[in-house]
Chain A
């Protein structure tokens, strides 16, 4: 795993040429956009006029925060993520990134500030891992959409950071689910966006890969990015999140540190009675963190 360097001064415009000194290319390939507050206010959305998937949500993702959104199926978590990513236009509410309305950003500059890691792709492209990750550079390409040394550097670095350099030459269709999830994260790293929106990254992964994926996200946040992660896994949220937001029926019904949210009186009304609660030493050994397991008695 490669460590990220200290963050150089941010760049806020795409590269117009690659004919530059080597140190400039390296700097550009490793520069992450400045971390900005992502803020949604009064967000509401319903599909085809049915029950509201998201209902009056206020949410804020400050710089350097790992915010995990949990909630039962149909709570509106993924819809909220899509709204914050600008992929779904909400019926009501506003989204701001760094104080600017998200809708006012053109798609390419938005992609340089905000990266989405989807739960899965509608179809898995039959391309090499490296070429797939190169797709994350789209927002940085010149007007003729040419890739250059800066992009190759950024891709190398993203592959290394997500620990998938060894599968760069293989087809995306031929790697394991755990590797594919890390490749999706690698592509978002190639975007050099400071804010990551991650949708259920550990679905159908074994425990070892679940921990590897969350560890990677935690590490990225510790190095200066901010991330909003949607997941069903309350125990991973407990271990890795800075804050947890609990959604139910389109609303955020509780938020705070793991110890404040993962409690019977908070989760019970949302998930029902089949949960058992306990505590376990926190990763790193400082204090304890709650855990929650489904258990039928």
Chain B
């Protein structure tokens, strides 16, 4: 028997599609969707040269387009780039959470992480809007977007910690308790968000900024949002090599993984921190977009199997494809700006969640 260089691990289960091929396919679809997203809209950019000139100018090469065309190109480019980043972040967050909790129904929106991030962002906007101590206003007004993002991340992290803590008994995470805790946290945070919105209802600017988080929006994004979301995605994705095989071994339970040599606490910490960061920055730049983190990893798992070494990187392609595709489809069907992406995702993801519940009824009854 000859020894060879390290090889890819044997597939964990008979695959329907190879991860490499699916990655290429998703990459191709994503490229087409991205170009279409930049070029389509109520004001058509009818030729390639115009679009390219606008992009070149944004990158510091060449003159800007005349009139409002340059602004239109930039807004569309930023919107598309933010959509890619948000899709990647939410899908990765869902993939990580489902791996840690060993449950396909876990996702940032269902266990309350997205809501926690939205609460953090809303409180930060409230503070910057003049409702907090003067100290905060003086210190953070200049770095308002960063402050909002940091608050979203910290609250997302706090929610992950709280939900994990409440769902753990005797060192084990109870999945029913986890999901019920998520329901309770979502309800509590919804109430708090409603209270905050009521408080600032007369203050148009602050109220508008806060309410936009609730719907989840990709409108009026800037280069800052692009930089923020992609930094978050890069940082979160950097843990993939260090948790993928470990999360595969979590499938038989934490004790089993530990007996095989997995540093389970470190794996959980890394994965949950990364999931919270990804969900936090996604909410910070685009508000709450529910169910994407549930749907995408699940669909990918159906295509390539349960191995996280393939699943997590594919989330980085599958999430953007799903979000951008759904956004473009609804704009094409209903006209530009008809629905916010958060609303679209709820309309798609909600029924999908119900489908999963019905499909897994026997398994769920055994929890």
**A112 pairs with B252, CB closer than 8 A:** no
**A138 pairs with B261, CB closer than 8 A:** yes
**B3 pairs with A25, CB closer than 8 A:** yes
Closest to A197 in B: B259
Could you say which residues of chain B place their CB within 8 Å of the CB of A148? 3-7
**B1 pairs with A25, CB closer than 8 A:** yes
At the interface, yes or no: A209 with Cβ under 8 Å from chain B? no
Would you give the 0/1 interface string for B248-285, flagging 1 where the beta carbon is closer than 8 Å to chain A?
11011101101111110000000000000000000000
**A134 pairs with B2, CB closer than 8 A:** no
Within 8 A of B (CB), among A162-195: 171, 187, 191
**B249 pairs with A135, CB closer than 8 A:** yes
Could you say which residues of chain B place their CB within 8 Å of the CB of A17? 6
**A47 pairs with B9, CB closer than 8 A:** no
Interface residues of B (CB under 8 A from A): 1-14, 102, 170, 172, 241, 244-246, 248-249, 251-253, 255-256, 258-263, 306-307
Interchain CB contact (< 8 A) of B13 among A108, A126, A134, A150? A126
At the interface, yes or no: A19 with Cβ under 8 Å from chain B? yes
**B241 pairs with A144, CB closer than 8 A:** yes
**A136 pairs with B260, CB closer than 8 A:** yes
- The 7 listed contacts between A and B (C-beta, < 8 Å) are A118-B259, A126-B251, A127-B13, A127-B307, A128-B12, A146-B7, A152-B10
* Known contacts A128-B14, A149-B2, A121 near B262 by CB under 8 Å: no
**A122 pairs with B1, CB closer than 8 A:** no
Closest to A111 in B: B261
Could you say which residues of chain A place their CB within 8 Å of the CB of B12? 125, 127-128, 131
Could you say which residues of chain A place their CB within 8 Å of the CB of B2? 22, 25, 149
Could you say which residues of chain B place their CB within 8 Å of the CB of A109? 261
Distance in angstroms between the alpha carbons of A201 and B2 in the assembled complex: 35
**A116 pairs with B6, CB closer than 8 A:** no
Distance in angstroms between the alpha carbons of A139 and B10 in the assembled complex: 17
Distance in angstroms between the alpha carbons of A123 and B255 in the assembled complex: 12
Nearest CB in chain B: distance from A85 CB, A: 6
Nearest CB in chain B: distance from A122 CB, A: 3
How many residue pairs at the A-B interface have CB separations less than 8 Å?
132
At the interface, yes or no: A52 with Cβ under 8 Å from chain B? no
Nearest CB in chain A: distance from B224 CB, A: 35
Within 8 A of B (CB), among A11-39: 17-22, 24-26
At the interface, yes or no: A103 with Cβ under 8 Å from chain B? no
At the interface, yes or no: A45 with Cβ under 8 Å from chain B? no
* Known contacts A123-B102, A128-B14, A149 near B259 by CB under 8 Å: no
* Known contacts A111-B259, A149-B3, A150-B3, A123 near B253 by CB under 8 Å: yes
Distance in angstroms between the alpha carbons of A118 and B257 in the assembled complex: 11
At the interface, yes or no: A87 with Cβ under 8 Å from chain B? yes
Interchain CB contact (< 8 A) of B3 among A21, A110, A144? A21
Closest to A171 in B: B13
**B251 pairs with A18, CB closer than 8 A:** no
**A107 pairs with B258, CB closer than 8 A:** yes
Distance in angstroms between the alpha carbons of A109 and B262 in the assembled complex: 10
**A115 pairs with B259, CB closer than 8 A:** yes
Closest to B175 in A: A123
Could you say which residues of chain B place their CB within 8 Å of the CB of A111? 259-261
* Known contacts A123-B251, A147-B9, A22 near B1 by CB under 8 Å: yes
Could you say which residues of chain B place their CB within 8 Å of the CB of A128? 10-14
The interface centre, meaning the residue of B245, B252, B307 with most chain A CB atoms within 10 A of its CB, is B252
Could you say which residues of chain A place their CB within 8 Å of the CB of B6? 17-18, 142, 144, 146-148
Nearest CB in chain A: distance from B362 CB, A: 13
Closest to B248 in A: A135
**A149 pairs with B263, CB closer than 8 A:** no
Nearest CB in chain B: distance from A123 CB, A: 6
Extra A-B contacts (10), CB below 8 Å, given A111-B259, A128-B10: A19-B3, A22-B3, A82-B255, A87-B255, A127-B13, A127-B307, A131-B13, A135-B260, A138-B262, A147-B9
